[in-house]
Homo-oligomer: A and B are copies of this chain.
Amino acid sequence: MVRPSSRDAILRVFAEHVAERGYAETALADVAVALGLSKGTILHHFGSKEALLGEVHVAYFGRRLAEADYVRAHLESPVERLVAMIYALLAAHRDDRAASLTCLRELVRYSGDELGGTLAEHIRGQRTRYTDLVVDIVRAGAAAGELHTADPRMTALHVFGMCNYAWTWYRPDGPESVEHIAGVFVRDLLGEERDTELARAIAVVRRAPGRVPAG
């Protein structure tokens, strides 16, 4: 295999395997042969299997946070921002598929407060930041009277569940497009079609940095 940056290739193939089979069912030996490398090389670069998973998480959340910052910078109204976040989360299932599936499958490894080194702590920090971003959007929308909620944090968790759970049923080659799904979800949540907001949100998210172009 080529010399430079096997790291990225390892990360990518590892994520693909975990996305498909799950972490525990993924053997480093399989990843190695898929890359034409030896098992030893993978450990040489990352030290342990767990660290490898950690790096996939950090990279994924880095991308989502960059995207979110871009949305925040380019859309003003809370409704548009919220719609954009919904679309972004769903689009990641299609365009950043391996990492999305990996992180959503193995989410729980970094949710509890169990210790786990500085890496795990960092990942928890990223998650908290992302969550807070959406909570703030919901709160702002409620304050502006543009959307209604009895509890912004719960509504944010509602949104995360609605979008993230799609990993269990969404298939890129399925009949429903991400744009259609986002449209339905937005309508469910906001009570009416929001086609203009949706169109703007889609346009902004598509231009956002940190996105992996559809494979």
Contact = CB atoms under 8 A, between A and B. Distances in A.
Interface in A163-192: 163-166, 168-169, 176, 180-181, 183-185, 187-189, 191-192
Interface stretch (A29-37, A52-60, A152-160): A152-160
The 10 A-B pairs at the shortest CB distance, nearest first, are namely A161-B165, A24-B24, A154-B184, A161-B162, A191-B191, A151-B184, A161-B161, A150-B184, A165-B165, A158-B162
A188 to B, nearest CB: 5
Nearest to A149: B188
A196 to B, nearest CB: 16
Interface residues of A, number: 37
Interface of A: 22-25, 105, 107-108, 111, 148-151, 154-155, 157-158, 160-166, 168-169, 176, 180-181, 183-185, 187-189, 191-193
Given A108-B168, A111-B168, A161-B164, 11 more contacts: A107-B168, A148-B191, A148-B192, A149-B187, A155-B184, A155-B188, A157-B166, A157-B169, A158-B162, A161-B161, A164-B165
A1 to B, nearest CB: 29
A176 B158 CA distance: 14
A26 B23 CA distance: 14
A150 B191 CA distance: 11
A155 B176 CA distance: 13
